[in-house]
Amino acid sequence: METVRDPELEQLDLEQVLKRPLKSQQLLPAHHPGQASYIWRIESAEGFQIVRTNRFLTPPAEDFWAGSFHLFGALTTDLTRLAVINRWLQPKLPWAVPQIQALVPFLGRYFAVVDWMAGTALADFDHLTEDSLHTFGSALARLHQCQFDVFGPPGILEDVSRGTPARQFAEALIATQTLLQERFYPDEPWAQPDDGFTFEGPMAPILLDMDPTQFLASGGSIRAVVDTELYVIGPPQLELVGLEYLLSPAAAAAFRVGYEAIAPLPALAPVRRPFRRLLRALSFQGPEPWEAWMDWPIRLPT
């Protein structure tokens, strides 16, 4: 994914947007390629806060955005969804989740004013202590226990009628994989969908772009999850298969201890290859070589 840049937004005086004086504003650098938001740290009479807005009004014509929208209805340009996600997550996670204090329309988009959180963006899950990895595992297990019989956008958290029946997920995944293969990988045999793919099981809230940079940490412990726009309702196994690319063997072992203190790790062997295929077609961690991606070491054997 490429990181979209908008010079007009980068030079914007946020006092014009917020209609109040600011002591300072600082545009923060993107933490990872393809980051969907511009994020500023501001200081005013109320103290420190974060302001964020979308880098684009229309999602770029890229594999990640096309696939995420086609399969889950993931649309980060609608910042009202962020309030729903963060409000729902806060009581269910052991870390802080920034709440939206205001949504301000300006220049045809919304600017969200959210709580400022202390900590530094996590560069790698290996930087966490063993206890924090246990907590990470147990936190995801608890979210995965919040089960739905539909999949789709985060609006399901407020109204399940916004979802698609879970029994249709396999069909939807094959259609999405076909779209991605035809549009972005027409000459890549690895991108062809698994026509025999089937899936049964409940859906749960998952972070579609799971990455350590979505979290703030200090002292080897996660303090907050701050990049939540791409929470969707989908198979927990998809999130766990993605984590296999992000966890070292030691980190995966500690994560697993925490997860299984809450619930058994779901079986990943039946879905690992089709879910790896989907994640690569979405450029989950960038344009990695297909064969190496599919043969990545198994970190969470089940």
The 3-state DSSP class for residue 100 equals: strand
Closest to 273 measured CA to CA, from 234, 239, 241, 235:
241
Question: How sure is the predictor about 81, in pLDDT bands with cuts at 50, 70 and 90?
Answer: confident
Asked if 179 and 70 count as a contact pair (C-beta separation under 8 A), the reply is yes
Tokens of 55: 């880098």
In this prediction, residue 137 carries a pLDDT of 98
Contacts of 186 (CB under 8 A, 6+ apart): none
pLDDT of residue 300: 98
Per-residue confidence (pLDDT) for residue 79, from 0 to 100: 84
CATH topology of domain 120-294: Aminoglycoside 3'-phosphotransferase; Chain: A, domain 2 (3.90.1200)
How far is 105 from 24, CA to CA, in rounded Å? 21
- What's the confidence (pLDDT) of residue 161? 95
Asked if domains 7-115 and 120-294 share a fold, the reply is no
Please enumerate in sequence order all residues whose Cβ is within 8 A of that of 260, keeping only pairs 6 or more positions apart, or say none.
137, 141
Residues 109 and 55: their CA atoms lie apart, in Å, by 10
For the domain made up of 7-115, the CATH class stated in words is: alpha beta
> Domain locations in the chain?
7-115, 120-294
Stated pTM of the model: 0.93
